[in-house]
Each structure stands twice: as structure tokens, then as C-alpha cells.
Structure 1
């Protein structure tokens, strides 16, 4: 359905390559297809690939982002800051772009200005050469869940992974969703609806599959892989933002049978088997993720992943998985949160059930 619209519709191009990436083994082909879009002038494609490839293919990333920034893409200029950090400092053209971006109300303007103030200046942009064969190795951008793993608990399984998501990807995700953040609500298993509740003080939003691009899909794939499953079992990616005083009091992520909505949900889609979190920023006080019944606390650095199982070996809700987001004392804290199901969720990552 999307392919006939590919030449003329930017949204169709994005959705097409995301759909390709969600197929088993389809991510490398999706990257190459998106690269074709970028070469034909699709600015958004250039930004997404520039962010996605920043660590694994820096030269290719640099040229994509520089081209998009010259077309006026603010997110490309923000991502180029990471290149400046790795290659000698800010050059005049980038500094001009970044000051312009901060003046537009860019949501991460505060951290952006701090980073600029701390960075040396250089007279010209770095020269990064892209080898032709580099384009044949784009599949190396696919994530792995084996690097830098620390086991915090065997039962339930609680695992921490260092530096799994790039800083550029964290910034890109936050800047993309920031305008959609709203006060978070709490799910009521009796009614199957959500509402504001003092138990949870934060801002939140979610990203359905149809709104994901390759840069965001990679984050979801990485989070899923760390939890030992595939992105096919993931609900919509949630983004959480906590200001001073905000917290999420002790709770379980899984459902319990109730002869009502929750039981129907369990029968239709299975349990929320695992949870995967990514720390999207640093520089705040408090805000640890705590497991009070295990005396375990986690506060990851930017790009770190935490995964934990919500059920026991026989599939029952595990009371030891009780956890909480401790109050933020200073600054602000941002997390990406993903629930992984036992069964594949319905259309667009939303759990569905028969009435």
C-alpha cells in the first residue's frame, strides 16, 4: 500500500522503511532504502540516518547531518554537536545553527547551551571521508544486548546494560516527543481506563509504531533485545519526564486476574512479561528506580538500559518486581519505558482483546 506513494509522500517513505525494519532481518534493507530517500533530498531521512549512524559510521552520519542542517533541519544541527565533541570543537557554521536552534524554543535548549559553553572552538568543520565500501556495512548498526551487562538480581531477573543507546539518539527521541508530553495518568484495571492519580506524578507520552522512524525503531529494538525478546512483542514506546517532586510510587507493571478487564486483557494478549527502561539524560538529583522488596536501586547514565521480569517462572505476577520511581530532588529526569508482552500486541502496538 505504501510503495506507490513512496516517490511523492514523505510520510509514506518513513512508514515504509519502518515497516521494513520491523520484519525479521529487515533492518539493514530498511537503512539502505532510507539512504536512497536521503540522497534524493528527503531531509527527514537524512536526519534520522545521521542520528542512527553517528557512532557506527561517523563519516556517513556527518555528511547526512551537515546536508540536512544546511536545509534548515534543527535536529540535524543538534546531532552535529556530538560530532563537534568528537572532532575538535564547534566550528562557526555549526555555532550559528545552534544559536538559531536555541532561539526557536528547542526543548533541550538548556543542555544545548551548557554543552556549547563548555566546548572549544575551531576555525572550520572537520573533514570526514566516507569510503564507498562503508555503505555496504550499514547492517553493523543493528543493536546487540550483550555489551556491558550487570546482573542486579537473579530472581526476578534484573539486568543493567551500559551505554546501549547513543547520546544523540537519546536527544533525538526527547526532542521529537517533547511537544506531546502531558501529565501522566494511572491505569485502572477495573474500568480499563486511565486517569490522573497522586500515585504517579510525571509527564508522559507514547509513540505508536506508525509514528516511529528508523532512529526510534532502533531504540525499541535495542530495549527489546536487552529484555530477551523482539520488538514484535512490544507495546507502544512510552516517554516519561519527572520534575522536582515528581515520582511514581510503588507499583507492579503486570496485570492480575480480576474477572474483569484485566482478565480479558490477559486472555487476549498475555502478560506484560518484562519491562525495559532507557535513561535519556543525566544531571538530576534523586529519581532512582527502586525495588523496595529487594533493596535494589538503579540510576543509569544517559543511554543505559535496565530490564526486569514482571512474572515468575510459571507466568504469575511476581510480587518482588514491585518498583518505584523515587522523587526527583533537582533538575529533571527522562526515561523511555517499554512493556514486553507474552503475545504479539495488536495493530500499532496497542494491546487488543475480544469483547
Structure 2
């Protein structure tokens, strides 16, 4: 090799550098080139940056077109399905996205297998996750294909049914080696469970993957209607809103993104420590989304009477013992140029939806001191509330707080909804 040769900069790192220096077009162009070459990491960053308010006009459709024209690999198929389901730069077509993932699952794509198997847990009778004859064999197929998330879901299913499948027991050590953040707790909790009867010898038959239409109906129709517990501002709760295995999946997907809670200074637009909240927080950008996370965000938006496009990034909050969220409101105040520009673009934060993702903590209730309401719920339960009044103005009666966690770790999903997409 010539001494004059130079190592080309990594396109991911170069895009970050360009973006930080305001070279938005250059950053996106480099990522589009890398994505066309099959770089899934650059595709993820491309989706994240193209959705940023600083991105130039037309960035999202261009990103979608780039992903659709990229090599047909499992990670890029995953991005493409999210684009179709959510309407990222294209007309939303969730039925087509699901059909695509089901076909990919049938063809052995482990990522697609995991998504469809997990989503099948939403196909319930209105009371409980689907019995093992429906989602169990699908999860086993995904687990055998190497999916740590599917193994974790099988262990969660074992806790719910009281019996562990032979596949889950055999593959549990692999989950422990995978670095999955819930592996230790799930393996310990299922160690003493009796073994369930095998569903079928491994490899003897192709699993019966669900069809797209009934699966989409299950995603869009929560198992139980929400109960309004206060009329104005509206506060509603939903029991059994998400199956536990989907709660686990969201918590695990967010784990690597967790960092101390911050807020943006309305005057400078720069992040600073949140003076009201002590927690770890992760916001899932578009580049991290798949059909399971799309479905969770969609259901949370619908519970608040909104649409997927109205939602800010789906967030996960983790509170340790002593952590809390002091009394606050979620609506935005026009206190600086950055906030004013954001309000002009998307309008007010009109509603919030919360979902409890785990069971293993005490304390930490969500309280509304001016409404005399306290909510803790159980794992998978949801709470949704309005932040604005009938005139669209911030409603001070929506003041709420997360009380200090007394023991254990509280994990909560949070979604803010805006007036406009």
C-alpha cells in the first residue's frame, strides 16, 4: 500500500461531524450513499436525521426511497417495514408492512419472525395474551433462529402460564450470554418452573404465521376499553393495555439508550439536567423503530385520541430508589425562541400516555394533586390524560408528579402527543 494513501472517513462518523457543523445536506447525502451500499447503521442514522426539524425539505421521502432501493437484507427490510407502517415520507400502509414481515418470517428472517411472534400476543380474547398454541410456537421458531428477544418472550410466557417450554429451557443459557438486559431476572424466575409438553419436534412443520388483516385488527383494537376516571381534564386508564412480553421488549430495546434525564433550555436550545426529574431516559428515534415499537406507539397514541404522526418519539423512563418526577405540567410554555418555533411547527402537547412496563417496584405512583388522583397500575396497564383544556390552552389542573420510588426499579413508557404531525 502506498504511503500516500489515506483512510477514508467512516460515513457514519462523517455524517455526525457534518451535522454538528450545520452541513445537513452533506450529512444526508453521505448517509444515503452508504445506505445504498447496504450499511444498516447508516440507514438508521439517515432515518433519525431526516426526521429532525433541521433537515431540509424532502429529506424524509428521499430517505424512504433510499431504504427501499437498498440491498434486501434483514436489517434494511426491518427499516422498510417501519417506513411503510408509519408513513415515514410515504403514504402509510400498515397492512402492506405486516404482509411484508409475515412473508419475511416465512422465509426465515429472524428479525421478522420475532416481530410477528410478539405482535401475535395482541391477538387475544380480551383477557390474556394468546395461549401457547398461537404465539408460543411462533416464538419458539424465532428463538431457534437465534432471537434473544424471542427467548425472553418465551420465559415471560412461562411465568404467565406456570410452565416453561422445552425450547425456552434449552435456550435460556444463550439468553444469559446474549447481554439481554432482562436475562438474569427472567432466567432466575423461571428456573423452578415445571416443563410444558413440547408443541412439536423441532423442524417438523412450518409454523402457522398469522395473516396481516387480523393481526392489524388486533394492533388497532385494544383488548379492553379505557375507563375515564376524570372528565376535564380527561384522565383515563386501561387495564391490560400491553402484554408483558411486549413491555419487556420495549424496555430491552431502550436499555442501551438510557441516560440521565435532560430538558432543552428554551433560550439556548441546548440540553441541560432536568431540574424536576431524577431518572434515566431513552427516546427511541425513527432509526430504532420496528413494527413492534410502531404498534406500541400507535396504541398509546390512540388511547389519547390521537394518531401515530402526532406522537413525539416514544420514550422509556427508568426510576431507581429515591428517583422521582416533581410536580410539573406537560404542556409547553412560549418562553424562548426554540420553544416558540417548536410550538409554531407542531402545536401544543395536548395529551400524554403512560404505560407501566414492569412489576418489580414499590412507591412511584403517578399523582394529580389538583384532581386527587393517584395511579400505579400493574405491568402492562396504561394511563392517558389531557394537557390542554377545551380551548386548546394549557390546563394547570393537569399538574402531576411521579412520587419517589421506594424499592426496586420503575420502568415506564411515555408518549407526548402534539396538535399536528
Shift of 1:336: 0.8
Higher relative contact order (CA 8 A, sep 6+): 1
Q: How does 1:121-160 map to 2 (within 5 A)?
A: 121-122=195-196, 124-125=198-199, 137-144=214-221, 147-160=224-237
Three-state SS of the structure 2 residue aligned to 1:307 is strand
* Cross-structure match for 2:187: 113
Structure 2 unaligned spans of 5+? 1-64, 124-129
Structure 2 Cα separation of the partners of residues 203 and 141 of structure 1:
32
Instruction: Look at both structures and tell me which one has the larger radius of gyration over its CA atoms.
Output: 2
Greater alpha carbon shift after TM alignment, 129-138 vs 78-87: 129-138
CA deviation profile, 1:177-204 (whole Å, cap 9, x unmatched): 2122111113322323321244211001
1:11 aligns with 2:56: no
Q: How does 1:18-97 map to 2 (within 5 A)?
A: 18-23=82-87, 26-56=93-123, 59=133, 61-85=135-159, 89-97=163-171
Structure 2 Cα separation of the partners of residues 314 and 146 of structure 1:
32
Shift of 1:329: 0.4
TM-score by length of 2: 0.75
1:219 aligns with 2:296: yes
Shift of 1:104: 3.9
Shift of 1:126: 6.4
Q: Is the 8 A contact 2:316 2:414 kept in 1?
A: yes
Q: Is the 8 A contact 1:88 1:120 kept in 2?
A: yes
Off by >4 Å, runs of 4+ in structure 1: 57-60, 85-88, 125-136
Structure 1 Cα separation of the partners of residues 210 and 389 of structure 2:
47
* Cross-structure match for 1:309: 386
1:249 maps to which of 326, 329, 336 = 326
Three-state SS of the structure 2 residue aligned to 1:201 is coil
Instruction: Note closer, same or farther for the CA distance 1:6–1:163 as it changes in structure 2 (3 Å cut).
Output: farther
CA deviation profile, 1:216-247 (whole Å, cap 9, x unmatched): 10000000000001101111111100010111
Structure 2 Cα separation of the partners of residues 208 and 171 of structure 1:
18
Structure 1 Cα separation of the partners of residues 310 and 274 of structure 2:
28
Shift of 1:94: 1.7
Three-state SS of the structure 2 residue aligned to 1:313 is coil
TM-score by length of 1: 0.88
Shift of 1:254: 1.0
* Cross-structure match for 1:349: none
* Cross-structure match for 1:161: 238
Structure 2 Cα separation of the partners of residues 60 and 29 of structure 1:
22
Q: How does 1:130-279 map to 2 (within 5 A)?
A: 137-144=214-221, 147-258=224-335, 260-279=337-356
Shift of 1:268: 1.8
Structure 1 Cα separation of the partners of residues 133 and 95 of structure 2:
18
* Cross-structure match for 1:347: none
Instruction: Note closer, same or farther for the CA distance 1:276–1:132 as it changes in structure 2 (3 Å cut).
Output: closer
Q: Is the 8 A contact 1:145 1:225 kept in 2?
A: no
Greater alpha carbon shift after TM alignment, 117-126 vs 100-109: 117-126
Structure 1 unaligned spans of 5+? 345-355
Greater alpha carbon shift after TM alignment, 28-37 vs 212-221: 28-37
